[in-house]
Amino acid sequence: MTVRPITIIGHRALAQRTRKVREVTDELRELVADMFETNDAADGAGLAATQVGARWRVFVYSCEDAAGTLRRGVVINPVLERFGGLELDEETIEGCLSVPGEGYPTARFRGARVRGTDLEGREVLVEDEGGVLARALQHEVDHLDGMLYVERLSAALRREALDAVTARGWRARGLLSWDPREMTADEV
């Protein structure tokens, strides 16, 4: 397993829709293993394939649900269903490994359910209401659809987020990815 560099806002891979996985290959298994390793190294709640430069419709997650139970898994070709009403809690800050070191209140549905398959081709159903997992499911599927969470922010917060990205100098330094083995998200 390998920790892969994580793409940063501005990288074109993050703005592209992913391709459906038609067959689980050794290459895909290796990608998923690397994604778990990368997510763990970066202390993330989840990681979409686009965040490591792959265009496949797959994500991994490792975070607590509403009951406080750590949930960990992979979903291939996820189909998302949102429920429970859209909420914006100013105290709940959402972050992203592709916008490292930043976090903002983001409107998300209270509940989320994702259906897909695992690496063995078995059907997977992941569901949560009111926990970090519910947010992570929505967040990761957004990545697979070519959307970053900053696009869901209010106009004022979106401007603040983009100003923060500029202040960090990523574009000026030509930085399009970061390596969680070498630095933390706050150091990028």
pLDDT in tens, the chain (188 residues): 799 999 999 999 999 999 999 999 999 999 999 999 999 999 999 999 999 999 999 999 999 999 999 999 999 999 999 999 999 988 889 999 999 999 999 999 999 999 999 999 999 999 999 999 999 999 999 999 999 999 999 999 999 999 998 898 887 777 889 899 888 777 77
Pair of tokens at residue 177: 């990815």
The answer to the question of whether 63 is labelled as a binding residue is no
**pLDDT at site 42:** 97
- Are 100 and 35 in contact, with CB atoms under 8 Å apart? no
**pLDDT at site 135:** 97
Please give the Cα distance from 47 to 155 (Å, whole number): 26
DSSP state of 170: T
**pLDDT at site 30:** 98
pTM exceeds 0.85:
yes
**pLDDT at site 119:** 98
**pLDDT at site 186:** 78
The answer to the question of whether 143 is labelled as a binding residue is yes
Pair of tokens at residue 134: 């519910």
Catalytic residue list:
140
Torsion 17-49-141-92 (CA) sign: negative
- Are 149 and 98 in contact, with CB atoms under 8 Å apart? no
Quick count: other Cβ atoms within 10 Å of Cβ 123?
Answer: 8
Distant-in-sequence contacts of 151-157, Cβ < 8 A, 24+ apart = 152/106, 152/107, 152/108, 153/104, 153/106, 157/104, 157/105
The answer to the question of whether 11 is labelled as a binding residue is no
**pLDDT at site 28:** 98
Residue with tokens 């997510």: 39
**How do beta strands 103-105 and 58-64 pair?**
unpaired
